Amino acid sequence: MLKSRYLCGGSVLAVVLAMGLSGQAAAQDQSSTVEEVVVTGSFIAGTPEDAALPVDVISSEDLEKQGTPSTVELLKALPVSSGVLGDTNQFDPRAQGSEGSGSVNLRGLGAQRTLVLINGRRMAPNPFGQAGAGIVDTNIIPSAAIGRVEVLKDGAAAIYGSDAIAGVVNFITRTNVEGLEASASYRNVDGSKGDYTGSLLWGHSWDNGNVLLSAAYQHRSELTTTDRDWAAQPYFNNPEGGWSAGNAIAPFLPVTNTPTGAFTPAAGFQLDTGCAALGGVVQPGALPACLFAYIPFDNLVETENRFQLYGEANADLGDNAKLHIEAFYSETDVPEWNTSPSYLALQTPTATTNPATGLPASVLAGYFVPASNPGFAAYRAANPTQIPAFATGAHIPGVRYRPLGYGGNPAFDDGPSQGLRHYDAFRVSGGIKGRFGDDGIGYDFSLTYGQETGVRTGYDTVVSRFQLALRGFGALNNDPNGCTSAETAGFTTNAGNAAIGCHYFNPFSNAVQSNAITGATNPSFNSALANNPELVRWFFQEVRTKQTQKLFVADAVFNGELGIELAGGNIGWAAGAQFRRSFFTSIYNDLSNIDANPCIDTPITGTTSCTVRNGPLMFLGTGEQADLEADVYALFAELAVPVTDDIQIQLAARYEDYGGETGSTFNPKGSIRWQASDWLAFRASASTTFRGPPLTSLTNNSVTALSFIGGSFRAIDIFGNPGLEPETAKTYSAGAIVEIGNFNATVDYWRFDFDNPIVGEPSGSIVNTMFPGGSGANCNNPAFAGLQARFTFQGACGITTIARVRTQVVNGPPVKTSGVDVLANYDFDDVMGGRLRLGGSITYTLEYKVDPFTVGGVTVEKAFDAAGYLNYQLSATSLPQLKGSVFAEYTTGPHNLRWTINYIDSYIDQRTAIFAPNPVNGAIQPNGAKIDETWLHEIDYRVFLPWDTTVNLSIDNVFDTEPSFARLDLNYDPFTGSALGRTYKLGVKKKF
């Protein structure tokens, strides 16, 4: 790695944080100041003039002046980073299931394309991040031990290998810490119990080594959607704001049993009359709906508890060798992840449990409620005009139904359904670094092992059990012998006899006392018809997934000088090899394991033979257990060529071999820096870079995500692809560095040209192309046969009958993106006896052009430019064109006061159909087509007190600005906005 002084070379403006943070080495806390730093981007030991790389360095001093933001806050605010996970994750397919984890996404190119390092060494990926796609969980970083963060904003695969397409973020731990530091903070968040942290850091140095130990605890409190007025909007304010056409207050079709045994409709579809009383909105039509607001059951912020341990030791092994060993452990617990009381019925029962399967093909598949169901009998008595006296039951269409809704889930105290997210991460790295002889070749040998294990739980309805409960064959979860005689009878007798353990589930509104969120009472409620929580627990069962990613890396790097001296000095070189072995394992409980329960009826019949293997659950998919591993071998070389004192060139190349069908890749890089004058320098680089296919994408296994389609969430099954090729990109950058007295600035133009990007097929675009404007005109079009094969329907082909969409990880269309980074600051040395610094940084994305995307022989996405757009359900993420900040910082004596203004440009919701006349009242809803610009103000004050005590006071979002409205589930875009509002934070650090 290239050594340079703190404000020189590729680190010009190194202390300018891309989110507006700024500081100077001279003002750094002495416990973390070093004479030289290692700048990310090279393995050559050189001089300041050798650097030609756009690297920003964020010191612990910078972070402290900003009130010590969390890792998520830091990375989300970087102008160079867009589409960061970590706040609210569950309503975007790219984030579902990874609540509690974080990411960094340089250039908006995807978090999997930013390489994250600790002390220059790789980390194991998050096992749940985009289905194990290679995203590093930044929330496990041992933040208390971090001395600085280096952000390389350039393609770096020639140096570091796969995943460094968009750049590198290198977290580097503190050095030369002496003694004990204790710190704590509390942040007041309106509507929650607040966030708090605590940490201990201890270090000690000897003549021939040092040691550093840290322990930290971080807590985030739950913030519900109902704690923010803007988060749960009425339907007519935002139909896309967490409203679903699938509800427990459902449409039903009275049916009668004909003499031939077939079930036929007795009348048209009817809507349960309890809709309005419980807070629903009636959507009329041939298949009416009671629109359900699920957002009030969810959280904006989940409860998170995080514990981190870190330790490192360094020792001299003689005059020319040093030993370094480091290890950390991190645990993140999200104990009560909240979601809807139950999910939509995307799977429906077979004839094994549903006798009413003889309905006409035009009737959507669904569930059967017999006339003997007490809820049915009571509802018919109260509503004789809806259900004829001769009706023998009712049919509930699956795509318009969920078992539990406005009344909450009885199994969870009539509230939301809950699950958990839990992560354990461990990493150990060690190596020996030195030189063969006093002037010999340098070497750096290291071994690194890391792993992260994630556990994810949730609950879903077992289809066959639920149908049995509707017919009176349900059992209580705490009764192991429940309903055994009825099961022995093969479900042919509608016993409904509690004496033999059989129970009915009542699907009508007369079972619901009140709206669990608003408290609105239901006048038709009958306490005798309320559903037993233990019956709900019997059919509403836990699904559990445990996944682990492991990574072993062996590095050998050599460096030295060629002995060829040019006008600017000797040519430096570095060369080395790397071996990586990746492991991925997934373990499912039986209910969510497709091999244990492949069929809808497997839980009750034991059969594993069925035409469609989607498992036994109503909504969630099943998974196939996996035990995967792969090896990667790499060779690389690098030259630093000081042509003159003013012109330096760096050359690098890397070869990586993945074996198998993936094969190998070779990538060169060249960069140049020209010091044109004392105050002006130019730099430029060009390279090819790459990313190998993630281990989890090279199988035929699938994972299930969710996507909002036709008024409700539907299942998206994402399958791997053994034929994936590495994605490649050509990267270019050119910039200028200006240093005139107290003024420093950099301007850099950057460009990335992608080929074969590894992406999931865009489910939203597949649906919109198959059903333009919601129309089913393409259902009988032979040209769309390949696309139609991707869908599973409940009934005939149509957007309202979609149950599942099959997609695949593929090498997608080319992408071209470019933009400009600007960083600048100016120091006023004497202002009323103190020092004033003004500065700012912006990233402006000029373009993000994506070529047409073809699926099943049909173009599902035309070429588009994602820059300045929301890009909902497209292959790009939210991408405001301009993101930046400016600041003013005043320092006098022990006091430091800083005002920061963070800015996010307005951007456009590219969807057009959602702004058409509302299907309920016909009103046009243009609000949200433009997502307004955001200005957030922050004040931070730090003071050094006696007794080695430091106090920080911070006010974030000074004017309590609400996030800009967006037509999304949470009524804002969590990839760019913040839900917290104005917060107050107090932090205290004491040295001993």
Q: Looking at this protein, which amino acid is placed at residue 295?
A: I
DSSP 8-class letter at 622: P
What would the DSSP string read from start to end of 828-878?
EEEETTEEEEEEEEEEEEEEEEE--EEETTEEEE--EE-TTB--TTSSS--
CA dihedral 975, 976, 980, 986 (to 10 degrees): 110
Alpha-helix runs per DSSP H in 132-171: 157-160
The radius of gyration computed from the CA coordinates of the chain, to the nearest angstrom, equals 30
User: What pLDDT does residue 445 have?
Assistant: 96
* Token couple for 93: 């397919």
Q: Where are the alpha helices (DSSP H) in 702-795?
A: 763-770, 785-788
**Planar angle of CA 423, 429, 433, nearest 5 degrees:** 160
Exposed/middle/buried for residue 485 (C-beta within 10 Å: 0-12, 13-18, 19+):
middle
CA distances from 119 to 15, 122, 476, 505 (A): 18, 9, 55, 58
DSSP helix/strand/coil, 81: strand
pLDDT reported for residue 636: 94
**What are the φ and ψ backbone dihedral angles of 438, each rounded to 5 degrees?**
-65, -35
* Beta strands at 540-566 and 442-461: parallel, antiparallel or unpaired: antiparallel
What's the CA gap between 480 and 465, in Å, rounded? Answer: 14
- pLDDT at residue number 93: 59
Going by C-alpha positions, the residue among 78, 64, 61 that lies closest to residue 24 is 61
- SS3 sequence of 130-170: CCCCCCCCHHHCCHHHEEEEEEECCCCHHHHCCCCCCEEEE
Give the separation between CA 95 and CA 51, rounded to whole angstroms: 37
Residues 904/917, Cβ–Cβ less than 8 Å: no
> For residue 285, what pLDDT is reported?
87
- Residue 974's identity, in one-letter code, is P
What letter represents residue 470's amino acid?
L
Specify burial of residue 381 (Cβ count, 10 A radius: 0-12, 13-18, 19+): exposed
Query: Cα–Cα distance between 920 and 643 in angstroms, integer?
Result: 72
Report how far residue 98's alpha carbon sits from residue 113's, in angstroms, rounded to the nearest whole number.
Answer: 18
Distance in angstroms (rounded) separating the CA atoms of residues 688 and 654:
10
Strand partners, 442: 435, 559
pLDDT at 21 (0 to 100): 35
* pLDDT of res. 79: 87
Distance, in Å, from the CA atom of 874 to the CA atom of 567, rounded to the nearest integer, reads: 52
Question: Whole-angstrom Cα distance, residue 610 to residue 613?
Answer: 6
Total residue length of the chain = 992
How confident is the model at residue 658, as a pLDDT?
86
Predicted local distance difference test score (pLDDT) of residue 30: 35
Q: How far apart are CA 922 and CA 367, in angstroms?
A: 32
Cα–Cα distance for residue pair 734/747, rounded to 1 Å: 8
* pLDDT less than 70: residues of the chain: 1-39, 45-51, 88-90, 92-96, 131-132, 260, 484-500, 711
* Residue listed under structure tokens 């509802």: 379
The whole-number pLDDT of residue 13 equals 31
Query: What pLDDT is stored for residue 909 in this prediction?
Result: 94
pLDDT at 89: 60
d(CA 737, CA 9): 9
Which residue(s) pair with 952 in the sheet?
A: 942, 987
3-state DSSP: the chain helix, strand, coil percent, rounded to 5?
A: 15, 45, 40
Nearest to 669 by CA among 295, 291, 154, 27: 154
